Amino acid sequence: MHFATCCEDIRRSAIICGLTVIIILHLSSLYPPASVGGAERVASILAETQAQQGHSVYASSLVRRPTGEFRRHGVAVRPLRARNPLWIEDTARYSAPIRLANKAATVLNWRVSSEFGALLDDIRPEVLHTHSMVELPPAVWDEAARRGVPIVHTLHDYDLLCIRAALFKDGRKCHPRHTACRALSTPKRALHDRISAVAAVSRTVLDVHLAHGLFTHLAPETRQVVWNPAQLERGSHGRKPRASGAPLRFGFLGRLVTEKGLGLLLNACSSLPASGWTLRIAGEGRDRATFEQQARHLPVTFGGHVDAAQFLSEIDVLVCTPLWDEPFGLTTLEAYAAGCRVIGSASGVIGELVQRVEPGWSVPPNDAEALAAAMARAIGDDSALPAERQFAVEALLEELEPDSVSQTYLDLYKAVGAGAAAPSAAHR
């Protein structure tokens, strides 16, 4: 049986039983099993959770080669053929001018938006939930709006403002934005008022967009902060305890690049006492050799790629002080789930998370002196995460359970009109 017909049968049965079933279409630049990043993983977790909750759920994304519809974990996946000049995984091979031209073609790609309109006519969703727009033209919003389909958009990063989606370049935050970013974000700005509600993965991400004049057309109740769903193993029971009198074990987990703040951390380490601590660095990246040179006289080891859970079970304090405002602090959450303490940057979502769990353990951004002082206090404290703060961790992780996050989005869908009635005959 065709999946759409099956979904309609399930919908009719649910209506008879008094349940509200919503036809949901998730749209993202990529979607599993394609190579994906954080935004695409979140889209798939939400889609699969909503399907498990009994809703009729579709997902669409760009694919390099045409493929037919398929089902994945209860979700009907309807790929769109990529029509951009460069495929996303190939762009790094090309020069900056070619990549810039590709970005311009992407935001104006009428073929993708037109084919997406045909997909909307076929699926007839009651709500369109858009995610990463890095490879998608903003005209897809217009296609949905012209069909009366309400749109919920999740801000996973800064791709509506910046072609790198980071607002960070050459070791600093982009204030003001570069000319290319201002120009290429104009079509997104022009059409973003088609969006019915917006959710940001952190307060910082939402505030940055509001400061640039986006989403001011929405009522406050349709501008929300919804943290990403995360299913994290509570690993404190598997921790490897530190021997009495042994040095405090600091850790860094992430890409070895400037924006992650490892250079800042090593600068802070140079101000610490010569003994009583160690630092383990996990990850790889283009700047590893530079950092190894910087750390050559310090009690620091580089471990390359590691199993994150095992790594976190073997350290006492994770240091997470990036130079840019990371949209979402998954590594910070993983550390807390594993029973680690965290010293984090006070700005951005990491500061939000640390403030929730252990106020006083955040430091001003890009301040090596303040970071060194916080690390010195941790060495002097020499204790595990207090029991009362462990309760705060549990409350935070419960809030991030996929079922909880999905319900928040379902409430937002209903707030913009999804599920109020069956699709109209004209829409059918």
Edge to edge, the sheet with strand 277-282 lists 300-302, 277-282, 248-253, 317-320, 341-345, 362-363
Q: Are residues 32 and 83 in the same domain?
A: yes
Residue 428 lies in a domain: no
What is the model's pLDDT at position 119?
97
pLDDT greater than 80 at residue 70? yes
Domain of residue 116 covers 3-229+401-415
pLDDT greater than 70 at residue 54? yes
Could you give the CA distance from residue 74 to residue 377 in angstroms, rounded to a whole number? 50
- What is the total count of domains within the chain? 2
- Mean pLDDT across the stretch 208-228? 95
Residue 222 lies in a domain: yes
What is the model's pLDDT at position 125?
97
Match 């290429």 to its residue by tokens: 184
Residue 207 lies in a domain: yes
Q: Are residues 169 and 224 in the same domain?
A: yes
- Mean pLDDT across the stretch 241-259? 90
pLDDT greater than 70 at residue 293? yes
CATH of the domain at 286: 3.40.50.2000
What is the model's pLDDT at position 326?
83
pLDDT greater than 50 at residue 71? yes
Burial (CB < 10 A; 0-12, 13-18, 19+), residue 213, is exposed
Q: Are residues 313 and 246 in the same domain?
A: yes
Q: Are residues 129 and 241 in the same domain?
A: no
Q: Are residues 124 and 203 in the same domain?
A: yes
pLDDT greater than 70 at residue 424? no
Q: Are residues 70 and 167 in the same domain?
A: yes
pLDDT level of residue 389 (50, 70, 90 thresholds): confident
Q: Are residues 171 and 293 in the same domain?
A: no
Q: Are residues 188 and 150 in the same domain?
A: yes
Residue 182 lies in a domain: yes
Range with lowest mean pLDDT among 298-302, 308-312, 328-332: 328-332
Percent of the chain with pLDDT over 90: 62
The model's pTM is 0.83
pLDDT tens-digit profile of 166-184?
Answer: 888 877 788 888 899 999 9
Stronger pLDDT, 202 or 279, i.e. the higher one: 279
Percent of the chain with pLDDT over 70: 92
Residue 74 lies in a domain: yes
Residue 405 lies in a domain: yes
Q: Are residues 365 and 255 in the same domain?
A: yes
